[in-house]
Copies of this chain bind each other. A is one copy, B any other.
Amino acid sequence: MERVPVLKIGDILLVSIQIDMEDQVALQLQEDLADRIVTTGCHGVIIDISALDIVDSFVGRTLATIASVSRVLDAETVVVGMRPAVAITLVELGLSLPGIRTALNVELGIEMLALSRPHLDVEFDDDEDEADSAAVLAP
């Protein structure tokens, strides 16, 4: 069975969804994420969906469930990288992803988690003029 990997980066768990979210894959991801939140003590979850052409009601519900489970385990979830066409289709379908926070990309997602969790002490210097940018993740 295919499995979506969960990557730990500092105090954040990063998930990049690229494969079709069938029932088993979605359930496995929920389980893996919950496990990793508990074993690592991470307080932030970022789910990147930039590879998805379509977000249907099942995927929407899966994301909402993941966000709720994470919240219960004291972690915040941000969905990032939604394509414009996906956003338009979602709203046309009447799916507005209630209870899910979104950001344009991973860096803005990290920033959003930092703002809502000041104790994470995540500073983020997103100066596009410079070749280098800075992210500071600290406990």
Enumerate chain A interface residues (CB-CB to B < 8 A). Answer: 2-5, 7-11, 14, 16, 18-19, 40-41, 43, 48, 50-51, 81, 105-107, 110, 125, 130-139
Nearest chain-B residue to A49 (Cβ)? B5
Contact B41 A131, beta carbon cutoff 8 Å: yes
Q: Which residues does chain B contribute within 8 Å of A43, judged by CB atoms? A: 132
Tell me if B4 and A131 are in contact (CB < 8 A): no
User: Copies per complex?
Assistant: 2
Pick the contact of A7 from B16, B40, B131 — CB < 8 Å? B16
Bound together, the chains give a CA A130 to CA B134 distance in angstroms of 24
Provide the residues of chain B in CB contact with A136, threshold 8 Å: 136-138
Q: List 29 A-B contacts (CB under 8 A).
A: A2-B18, A2-B51, A3-B51, A5-B50, A5-B51, A5-B81, A7-B48, A7-B50, A7-B105, A7-B106, A8-B105, A9-B110, A10-B107, A10-B134, A10-B135, A11-B132, A11-B133, A14-B14, A14-B106, A16-B18, A18-B19, A19-B19, A41-B131, A41-B132, A125-B138, A130-B139, A135-B138, A136-B136, A136-B138
